[in-house]
Structure formats: structure tokens, C-alpha cells
Amino acid sequence: MNLRLELESRKNEVEEYLKNIFDPIVQANLRSAMEHLPNAGGKRLRPICAMLACELAGGRVEEVMPFGVALELIHNFTLVHDDIMDEDDLRRGTPTVHNEFSIPTAINAGNGLHSHAFDIVTRSNCSDATFRRLVREMAVTVRAIGEGQQDDIDFEIRDDVTVEEYFRMIENKTAKIFEMACRGGALISGASEEAVLALGDFGMNFGISFQLSDDHLDVVSLSHEMGKTSKSDLKKNKKTLIIVTAFEKAGPAERKILDRVLGNQSASEKDLDKAAEVLVKLGSVDRARREAERYAERAKRSLDFFSPSPAKAVLKALADYNITRKY
């Protein structure tokens, strides 16, 4: 099984479905702003998870497309708004929506993607009872993302964020939508409650592992072990697991090195490298990597419920790939 090809073929199906999805938007400027980020690419991991969950649960994959694409729209809406909040200028190699258009238009475009998701999901070919459940779970998922995002905002000015608070934040902000993707795929396929729960567990654990890998990559790239120069978590004073655990262990000298770059948008490369060295020395970088592996293992174990199948193999390979990926 070639994971890259498995992901690529499903990604193409998502892109195909996305092609005409903005046709109902009449207002030309709003439509351009709404299309901007979804058209700039992305891994399409959330709809792909929904497709794989549907396949694994024995459903027909074309029936999960509206739901999967609805989650992709929700994901994109949160990115458009996060970029305003974080004052980011670039995303996926292109200008962010508020940078290309304006802040009012970007707020409006994010809202358009948000409500459009609830329109698209009504195309789902499932029972009306399942549909009602999907809407409820989607709304609760968006609320969770908002709660996680609020923690992310609130934590920026706090130095005493606990490991428990960190996990609550990423469960809401990142993992819930993967849980929803997998649960929804199972629900639409008409699977048993046990199958829905098992796939939801996969999504939640995979999502946590995914965020931990992101946190890890952000710092590892700093120590020039990789070709990436993101460093943005440190400069934005984001409370990643790495920072939270480093604060617990750092002595005054180490803390001073960290404080020089945290929340400092103009921190020098040299200072950022020094901070990364401290984070490695304190064991925080390794801790994040180990936690990412632990949650990947958990994710794979969640699938023990199912007998072997091509879709199961792809999901397990996806969990493994996530902890080795370079970007």
C-alpha cells in the first residue's frame, strides 16, 4: 500500500467536489474572498478522514463527500479568522484573506464559509434522523474549536498554563474536528454505535498526535535539523506542550534565554536557535515527540475493533506518517 497515492486519489476527489461548491454565492467580491483559501490547496485531511472512516465502516464513499467537504469549509473558515487574530500575512504560500482583501471582507468570508458548511451538509444522502445528529455534532464541534481558540488567545498572556490545560486546548482546537470527521463518516455509512465510537476515538487521538507533531516541528526546525524556518509558535508566545513543560523545569538562566524570544516578533535567528537548544536540553522537545507517538499508537489501537481492510491499513499508515512528516 502506497500511502501517498492513497491520500492523493482521495484528495483529488475532494478537489473535484470543491470545484462548483461556491456557485451559489452571487456577490462576486464575497465569493472571491471565500474561495481564496480553499483554492490555495491544503492536505484535505479532514474530508479524507471522513472518507476513510466511511469506507472502513462499510459505507459508500460518495455519500460522505458533502459532509467531508463541509468540514473542510469549517477548517478553512477557522484559518481565515485565526489569521486575522494572529495578524499573519501568509498561509499556504499565498497572502492571507485579510491581507489580499481587507479585514472586514475576511471576517465576512470566514462567516460565509461557516454557514456554507451547514448548507452543503444538507446535501447528505442519509436518513433525516442521522442528518439531525450530524448537524448537532457539527455545531458542537465548531463550538469546541472556538473554545480551544479562546484558550489559545487567553494563554498567550499567561505563564502558568498547565499540561492539562494544554491538552484541553488542542483537543478542542485541533482534535475535535478529526473526531467529528471520523464519527460522521461512520454515522453516514449507517455503522453501529460501537463503530462510531471507535472511529471517533481514532480521530481524537490522531488529532492530538497531529497537533503535537506540529508543535514539535515548529521548534525542531529552529535547531536547523530540518529545512523549515517556521518558529512562529515561539515568536507568538503560543503555549505549546514544549513551552508548558519547559516553564515547569527551566532555571532562571534558561528562562532568560526563552523570554528573549517568546512573544518577540523580531527575535533574531541566533536567539531563536539558543532558545531551541534550551528546549531540547530541558527534554521538552523530546517529550512532545514521545507524546505524539503515544497518541499515534492510541489512534491505531482504536481501530482494533475493525477487521483488516484496505481503509484500516490507510488510517493506520496515516497515523504513523503523521509522526515522521517533515511539514
Cβ 141 vs Cβ 106: under 8 Å: no
Asked if 267 touches its own copies (CB under 8 A), the answer is no
Q: Which of 15, 40, 88, 135 binds its own copies (CB under 8 A)?
A: 135
For its own copies, the closer of residues 117 and 175 by Cβ is: 117
Burial class from Cβ neighbours inside 10 Å (0-12, 13-18, 19+) for residue 56 reads: buried
Shortest gap between Cβ of 32 and its own copies (angstroms)? Answer: 10
- For 101, list phi and psi in degrees, rounded to 5: -105, -100
Q: Which of 12, 115, 162, 232 binds its own copies (CB under 8 A)?
A: 115
For its own copies, the closer of residues 97 and 296 by Cβ is: 97
**How far apart, in whole angstroms, are the C-alpha atoms of residue 263 and residue 278?**
17
Q: CB 154: neighbour CB atoms within 10 A? A: 13
Shortest gap between Cβ of 320 and its own copies (angstroms)? Answer: 33
Q: Which of 49, 54, 138, 278 binds its own copies (CB under 8 A)?
A: 138
Asked if 85 touches its own copies (CB under 8 A), the answer is yes
Q: Which of 116, 216, 231, 238 binds its own copies (CB under 8 A)?
A: 116
Asked if 125 touches its own copies (CB under 8 A), the answer is no
Picking from 150, 151, 141, 159, the residue whose alpha carbon sits closest to that of residue 207 is 141
Shortest gap between Cβ of 295 and its own copies (angstroms)? Answer: 22
**Which are the contacts of 292, defined by CB distance < 8 A and separation ≥ 6?**
209, 212, 213, 216, 322, 323
Q: Which of 37, 50, 65, 142 binds its own copies (CB under 8 A)?
A: 142
Q: Which stretch binds its own copies (CB under 8 A): 111-119, 218-226, 231-239, 261-269?
A: 111-119
Helical segments of the chain, H only? 3-18, 28-36, 45-56, 65-85, 97-100, 103-120, 128-155, 163-170, 176-188, 193-220, 232-235, 241-249, 252-259, 269-281, 284-302, 310-322
For its own copies, the closer of residues 190 and 283 by Cβ is: 190
Shortest gap between Cβ of 152 and its own copies (angstroms)? Answer: 9
Shortest gap between Cβ of 66 and its own copies (angstroms)? Answer: 12
Q: CB 33: neighbour CB atoms within 10 A? A: 25
For its own copies, the closer of residues 165 and 286 by Cβ is: 165
**Which are the contacts of 132, defined by CB distance < 8 A and separation ≥ 6?**
none
At residue 280, the 3 state secondary structure works out as helix
Cβ 67 vs Cβ 124: under 8 Å: yes
Asked if 92 touches its own copies (CB under 8 A), the answer is no
Q: Which of 43, 60, 92, 143 binds its own copies (CB under 8 A)?
A: 143
For its own copies, the closer of residues 127 and 268 by Cβ is: 127
Which of the residues 2 through 61 are near its own copies (CB under 8 A)?
24-27, 29-30
Distance of CA 138 to the CA centre of its chain: 15
Site residues (vs its own copies, CB under 8 A): 24-27, 29-30, 77, 81, 84-85, 102-105, 107-108, 110-112, 114-119, 121-122, 127-129, 131-132, 135-136, 138-140, 142-143, 146-147, 149-151, 153-154
